[in-house]
Structure 1
C-alpha cells in the first residue's frame, strides 16, 4: 500500500472557491493553450523542446486537479444533471463542430466519428468516464496501485478510441492520486524548501528537453497508441518501461508545478475560475489561424522568433477567453439548464452540498 492509498477518501466540505486551486487552473490553462499552439510547428527544434516540456506534465497536472475536485462524486441526481450539462453537452457540441470544421478544410474525418474524439474534446469524455467510476476508486483497497497497473498494461492491447478510452486508462493514475489527496498534501507542497527544489526540478527538466528532445518520439506523450504500433514500435517491455518513466516524470513535474502555484488570491484567481471557456474555445481560434489564415506555416521559417511570438499570442488568447464577458456569452451554450430533460431535483440539503463537486473542467 502506498502512502496516498492510506489517505482518507472523505474530507470536510468546501463551501467557497479555494484561491490556490483557481490559481493552479489558471497557470495550467496557459500551458494547455501554448502547447496546442506549438503543435502547429513541425520542424522547429525550440518549439519541439518547449512542447515536450509542457506535454510531460500539463495533462497530468490537469487530470490530478480534476481528480481532487471530483473526489466526493457520488452520482446523485444533482451531480448527474450537472455532469450532463457541463460535460456531455459541451462534448457533443465541440467534437461535432470541430470535426465538421476540420473536414471542411482537410476532408477528414469522413465519415464523422463523434464518439472517437479527434482533439481537445477527449478530455470532456475522460472526465465523464472518470467521474462515473469515482465511487469504484473510493471502494477499492489499493486504488492507486490498480490504476498504475492498468495504465502500464493498456498499451499492450488493441483498444478502440471510443471516448478516448486508451488515453482515459493511460492517464488514470493521475486522476486516482488526485482523488486521494487532501488539503494537507497541497499545503506541504507549498512549503519554502519544497518550492526551492521544485523550481530547480522544472528548470532542469526544461534544459533536458532542449538538449535531448530532438531524437525522441513525441507520440509517447499522447498516451494513446499501442506500444507495438507505429510510430512507437516498442516491445512490450520497452513500452511498459517508457510508460512507467512518463508516469514518474509526470508526477514529479506535476507536484513541482503545484508547489510553485501561489496561495493568495489575485487576478489569476478570478481568471482561473473561468478556465472552462478558455479550454473549450481556444481550439476554434487555432483551427481558424491554421487553416483559414495559414498563420503558423507562414511564420514557421522565422524559427525561434516565431516560437516566442506563438507563446506570447497563446498566452494573450488564453487570458482573453477567461474574461467574464466570454463566460456570460457562452454559458447558455456550454452550461444549459436542461430543465426540459431532467426531473425537478429534491430540495438541496447540507449533505448534498458536502458531496456535490463541480463537474466543469477543473484545470
Structure 2
C-alpha cells in the first residue's frame, strides 16, 4: 500500500502516502485522479470494517462486514498493480520496498507489541506472524518483487489465479507471514498490473463509466449488501467470513475437500464483480477525498487501528448496545476517524514512523 515517490507526475499517487500503490501504470501519460479517490474510499471501508468487527453478532454489522471484506482488499491490490511503475527490481525499486514496507512493518510490529503489553499484559513480538493489518505490507513487498516472474510468462493472471486456488490445499500455507492471504489476493494485483502494462486501463474505464453500466453497478452493490445482511444464518453456517478473509488454508477453515479451490475461485469472481462496480460508481473526483487519497491513505491505514484496538479491547466499547442504531453510529465514527487520520497535522506528527527517510541506511553507490 505505500507509494513510489518517483511517480508524482504519473497516473499513480503522489508522494509515499498510500497503502496501496507504488508508482504509475505502464503506458500512462497523465495522472488519473480516480485512483486517488478510490484509494481513500477503500481505506475508509477498511476503517469501517475494523470498527464494526466487534459487533458481528449484530445482523447489520455482520452483513456490512462481509460485504466490505468481499472486495476492499481486492480493490487495494488491483489499484496497487495498476500504479506499479516498473517490471524490474532495480536498487531504486528495492529501496522503495525497504523504506516504505519493510522498515514500517518492523517499526509498527514493535509498537503494537508495546501497545498490547499495555492493554493486555505481556510483550509479544513475532515478525513471522503479522499483527492485524500489518500483513498487507508483507503482501505488497512479495507482490512487487514477484512482478518480474509474472512478466516473464504468458497468461500471468491465469497463473496467479491458479496459485490462489491451489495453495489453500497445503497445510503449511496459513498464518506464517499471512501466506494464505498473499496468495489469495495476488490475482487482483497481477490483474491491475497486466491491464496497465498492456494499455487496457482506459478502454476498461470507458466501458465501466458508461451511464448504463454505472446504474447497473449501483444496483449490484446495493443488492449484494442487502443479500449479505439478510442471509446471515446461511453465511455463518458456511463460514463465509473465513472464506472472504482468506486468512487460512482450506483445512483450517474446516473445508478440506476437493472443491475448496472452486470456492476460492468463486470468491475471486465475486470480488472482481464488486471491484468493477466500485470503480464504475465512485466519482472520478471528490473534493478533499481525492486529495486525501493522494497523500494520506498510508497514515489512515497505519494509525486507525490504535484507537479502535484500545476502545475495543481495553474499554469494550464497540461491541455494546443492541439493534442497528449503534452499528450506524460506529460507521459514522469510523468515517470521522478516517478523516482525522488524513489531515495534515496528524501526518506531520507521525511522518517519522509512517514515512521514515532513512537516508543513512540507503546504499548511495547503487
TM-score normalised by the shorter chain: which range applies? 0.7 to 0.9
Residue aligning to 2:314: 292
> What does the per-residue CA deviation read over 1:168-222, in whole Å, with 9 as the maximum and x for residues that have no partner?
0111111111111233123332221211111111111011111213332211121
2:214 aligned with 1:201: no
Deviation at 1:23, TM superposition (A): 0.5
Change (3 A) 1:345 1:70: farther
What is aligned with 1:78? 92
Determine if the alignment matches structure 1 residue 263 to structure 2 residue 276: no
Instruction: Return 5+ residue gaps in structure 1 as ranges.
Output: 1-8, 347-363
Residue matched to 2:243? 220
User: Higher mean Cα deviation, 128-137 or 332-341?
Assistant: 332-341
Report the TM-score when normalising by structure 2: 0.85
Matched, 1:19 2:40: no
- Larger relative contact order (Cα-Cα within 8 Å, sequence gap ≥ 6): 1
Contact 2:298 2:354 in 1 (8 A): no
Q: Which residue of structure 2 lines up, in the alignment, with residue 361 of structure 1?
A: none
Contact 2:78 2:190 in 1 (8 A): yes
Alignment partners' CA distance in 2, 1:175 and 1:85? 21
Q: Give the secondary structure class of the aligned counterpart of 1:96.
A: helix
Aligned partners of 1:268, 1:10: CA distance in 2, in Å? 21
1:76-123 deviation digits (Å, cap 9, x = unpaired)? 222221221111111112222223323443457x75212211210000
Which of the numbers 47, 57, 77 marks the counterpart of 2:71? 57
Shift of 1:236: 2.5
Please report how far the alpha carbon of residue 283 of structure 1 lies from its aligned counterpart in structure 2 after TM superposition: 0.8
Match of 2:141 among 128, 141, 145: 128
RMSD of aligned residue pairs (Cα, Å): 2.0
Q: Structure 2: how far apart are the matches of 1:318 and 1:265?
A: 15
State the partner residue of 2:260. Answer: 239
Deviates more, 1:310-319 or 1:154-163: 154-163
Gaps of 5+ in 2: 1-23
Matching of residues 347-362 of structure 1 within 5 Å: none
Q: Alpha-carbon deviation of 1:71?
A: 5.1
Query: Which of 332, 335, 341 lines up with 1:315 in the alignment?
Result: 335
Aligned counterpart, 2:206 = 187
In 1, Cα distance between equivalents of 2:221 and 2:205: 18
Do the aligned residues in 2 keep the contact of 1:45 with 1:214 (CA within 8 Å)? no
Is 1:276 paired with 2:276?
no
Does residue 176 of the first structure (1) align with residue 190 of the second (2)? Answer: yes
